Amino acid sequence: MRSSTCNKLYLLLAMLAVSEITMAQVNGQNKKMEVQMLTVQKNETIARELYEQILNKKEMKMLKGIIADDYTGPNGLKGTTGFEAPIAPLIKAFPDIEWTIDAIIADGDKVVVSSHWHGTQTGDFQHIKATGKYVSNSGIVIYEFKDGKIISANVLTDRLSFLQQLDILPQNIAALANNKADSSQVIFIDRFIVPSNAWDEFIKQTTYNRSFIKSLPGFVRDNGYESHDDKGNILFTTTAVWENQEALNKAKEAVQAEYKRIGFNPPEMLQRLGITMDRAIYKNFNN
């Protein structure tokens, strides 16, 4: 009888011990979930603050409190400098710019923000002269957080609509495809890899060159394209379409004469600024 009572007592104590352990585990899991939820909510609040208190009010000094020091911008710049670098030219060109958050989703260490902005282009932006046009543009950004600060941002914007609103591209893109080039036309293509510290001098001379060739006989049209590599260099490509090879040859002679007149030495500038270039001539391919 005594043995049976002891066994029951031991069993009861064991059950209580298991219960306490289980409750401790549950409480630990609940505490962990609570911390995670609070972190997610905090990250979402920071993302809202970025748009509503910093960007819209142009309070860039507040970026220090939400951007991590190891944040890397598209040009390789770090911290708040890297975050602000692509935004500052936009604000300068569209001084009345204002962002609106359309939707925001926070999960784990990431916050996804769908937003749009509107503003009037009163200044130059990415070599697009001020148009005075009112623009509205949408985009999605995926922010990654660590210890309450943004460590990365993946930005996706409606670039096509942006350029169409500025009349850089036609509303009907299909019209470009239907505008077939004459088989005798030639396309002169230059590709440059430009260090960021050489950009100002390079683009000033390039803008002059592009303006000059537009006045020459046989010129059809030209375009400039800009991108960046992971080393912070600017990848710049220009295309110039000429009526035929003869027009291009005469244009080359005219350009060389103009360089001589203004005392410009292209090879010297490229070497001095550390710019690399390759050049090619293409003709229209009709299948």
| 155 and 200 together in one domain | no
Q: Which two tokens stand for residue 213?
A: 């060739």
Domain containing 199 equals 180-283
pLDDT greater at residue 285 or residue 106: 106
What tens digit of pLDDT does each residue of 196-230 get? Answer: 999 999 999 999 999 999 888 989 889 888 888 77
239/224 Cα distance (integer angstroms): 7
| 229 and 145 together in one domain | no
| 103 and 23 together in one domain | yes
144/151 Cα distance (integer angstroms): 6
Whole-number pLDDT of residue 16: 59
| 36 and 168 together in one domain | yes
Which domain-ending residue is among 148, 172, 196? Answer: 172
| 154 and 265 together in one domain | no
168/84 Cα distance (integer angstroms): 25
CATH number for the domain that contains residue 20: 3.10.450.50
Whole-number pLDDT of residue 22: 58
Whole-number pLDDT of residue 126: 77
| 229 and 212 together in one domain | yes
**Res 107 pLDDT > 90:** yes
| 135 and 257 together in one domain | no
| 101 and 184 together in one domain | no
What does pLDDT average to over the chain? Answer: 86
**Torsion sign, CA atoms 44, 48, 53, 56:** positive
Query: Mean per-residue pLDDT for 135-143?
Result: 95
CATH number for the domain that contains residue 189: 3.30.70.100
**Res 43 pLDDT > 70:** yes
Whole-number pLDDT of residue 60: 96
**Res 286 pLDDT > 80:** no
Going by pLDDT thresholds of 50, 70 and 90, the confidence category of residue 6 is low
| 63 and 107 together in one domain | yes
What tens digit of pLDDT does each residue of 143-176 get? Answer: 999 999 999 999 999 888 898 898 877 676 555 5
Which domain-ending residue is among 144, 172, 200? Answer: 172
Going by pLDDT thresholds of 50, 70 and 90, the confidence category of residue 42 is very high
pTM of the model: 0.56
**Res 38 pLDDT > 80:** yes
**Res 129 pLDDT > 90:** no
| 107 and 245 together in one domain | no
Residue 252, classed as helix, strand or coil, is helix
Residue tagged 């936009």 (tokens): 90
Structural domain count of the chain? 2
| 237 and 138 together in one domain | no
Question: Residue 110: exposed, middle, or buried by beta-carbon count in 10 A (0-12, 13-18, 19+)?
Answer: middle
Which domain-ending residue is among 172, 191, 216? Answer: 172
Query: Mean per-residue pLDDT for 77-100?
Result: 95
**Res 56 pLDDT > 60:** yes
| 277 and 218 together in one domain | yes
Report the DSSP beta bridge partners of residue 221. Answer: 241
240/248 Cα distance (integer angstroms): 9
Whole-number pLDDT of residue 99: 98
